[in-house]
Structure 1
């Protein structure tokens, strides 16, 4: 990857040993998981970490032992929501020495600025030069995201070795299994959704055909938005092979079921990164996106990406397009991954 430049102070001096740090989290589950190595680096040098996150991402940080506290933001998608940010800024003013702003948006940098946090670290983006005191240049292209976040620590050594790790709260796994009347290792998990768009989703019929071929039941996990997709897969698979849990578990319960699964199959999605960080055996299916940019960093992971398959003809020169919907209308990159191929990797 093209290395980001070293942190550059634009005003004031960095504290010799920063102790109280606020981390402004991304708004996507997968991105939140990929920030874990950064937080481990910060905690490892003595920083006491509080994470500010939207409610649907906050549970990810409760599975990171290095995080001392989580503030759930009252902000919604869209708009600056100036009044809410001002009110929260007044509440936290004086509590932090450093803020790490992980998203590249202007509004994500507003809270640390309004709270007068002395040292504010982040990448350049969206005309927020004046809101940050220590800035990194954005690297060219699409570098590996874990390294992208970890570089905000100011230490660029060993970025390629960073691997996200999540730790379930005590009793979470046992409680989730008891609630579903399941035993660890006696089921598969499918995560058939992808919030970004259909160009990242393996066809529902393929998930159904794969479920039919397995010798253990399948749990279908995801958000409430993906419940209809999960129902479609379950109906097509038939025979009670699939249990639809999309939108019917908390995020932490979903984490626990993934940790206890025999294996998981998913698209490039937030739950894919959760499985990787929990060390669950998994098959990750890539189409319009790239495993060079957001790979499942898990020794037990198997990645299928036709773009890199020399035996796939004609070559898939259109991938990765990073589009929400296939610009060519065929989504060959996912349609042509057969259920039989995936089954051999489980």
Structure 2
């Protein structure tokens, strides 16, 4: 429950994975303040359905004006009366940003570096430390996440066969494990189930493919992706935003992390996703290739079976 009738302005940049690891802090702030105006990428905030959180896009003209030397309070179409605090993880290195925010609310805002983790500090812990709050648990977040199932997914669910969701992409090609096609083929042989491949438009352009998947969903809105992950029997993905979403939703499975990932900072929340991690690059394929020499699909399949049947979701 909120502790006052105050409002807070929260500004957060970053990719999907950053945003999802910020959600425990955001929901903690929603418990502290009666109203939150969240400024973040609209693709990510489409996932939220919280009665006390209102969203503006990062490219809103009023937000862009905050970075300007010629800023004037009239750039904001509505007053920020009642705003008790500003929490921002953007604008830390911009000379005029904090000054412009102070003009709006009449006090100094809290402006933090986007990523200034302590050694071995998880990203979610860092964001909560900045705001000085206890982060919310995934179980407190899930009821406020939109999930819109598609007719296709409803038909697949009606089959009552196992359903594996995979996300073979990420924000960087060198973080993409090359074993997905092998994994999917082996999983289908052993279970007879269906496989849904989740891809973004950028991943299609890069040629990311899983040859043996049954269904490809490309560039779907996050609420539809959330519905797929909620209905899946299990999940396998790279170090990516979709994997963080699967973790928050409590989908059991495996996240595959290679030499360019740092689990101490970016491991998924909760305990539903096991981590298959290779710290050193492959001596045969080169430093920029995340190959099956590093992590074999059989090992991931073993972890997947173990995780799917023996681990209870974290709900507290």
Structure 2 length-normalised TM? 0.76
SS in 2 for 1:32: helix
Match of 2:128 among 133, 150, 154: 150
Match of 1:246 among 188, 202, 218: 218
User: 1:213 corresponds to which residue?
Assistant: 186
Distance 2:153 2:221 in 1: 12
Deviation at 1:153, TM superposition (A): 2.4
User: 1:133 corresponds to which residue?
Assistant: none
Segments of structure 1 that go 5 or more residues without pairing to the other structure are 1-15, 126-136, 308-315, 320-325
Q: Deviations over 1:122-163 (max 9, x none)?
A: 3257xxxxxxxxxxx9454462100101112224xx66x955
Match of 1:72 among 32, 45, 57: 57
Match of 2:249 among 258, 262, 278: 278
Q: Deviations over 1:227-258 (max 9, x none)?
A: 25676323xx2xxx4311122x2121011111
Distance 2:231 2:73 in 1: 41
Q: Deviations over 1:143-188 (max 9, x none)?
A: 2100101112224xx66x9558333657x34x33556622177421
Deviation at 1:82, TM superposition (A): 4.3
SS in 2 for 1:181: helix
User: 2:112 corresponds to which residue?
Assistant: 123
CA RMSD of aligned residues (A): 3.7
- CA gap of 1:88–1:54, structure 2 versus 1, over 3 A, is farther
User: 2:307 corresponds to which residue?
Assistant: none
Distance 2:58 2:23 in 1: 19
User: 1:183 corresponds to which residue?
Assistant: 157
Deviation at 1:34, TM superposition (A): 1.0
Deviation at 1:200, TM superposition (A): 1.1
User: 1:94 corresponds to which residue?
Assistant: 80
SS in 2 for 1:99: strand
User: Is 2:143 the partner of 1:167?
Assistant: yes
* Number of corresponding residues: 287
CA contact under 8 A between 1:38 and 1:152: conserved in structure 2? Answer: no
- Of stretches 176-185 and 95-104 in structure 1, the one that deviates more from structure 2 is 176-185
Q: Deviations over 1:244-290 (max 9, x none)?
A: 1122x212101111111111100111011100110110200111111
Distance 1:106 1:92 in 2: 26
User: 1:267 corresponds to which residue?
Assistant: 238
Segments of structure 2 that go 5 or more residues without pairing to the other structure are 305-316
SS in 2 for 1:245: strand
User: 2:287 corresponds to which residue?
Assistant: 328
CA contact under 8 A between 1:272 and 1:296: conserved in structure 2? Answer: yes
SS in 2 for 1:35: helix
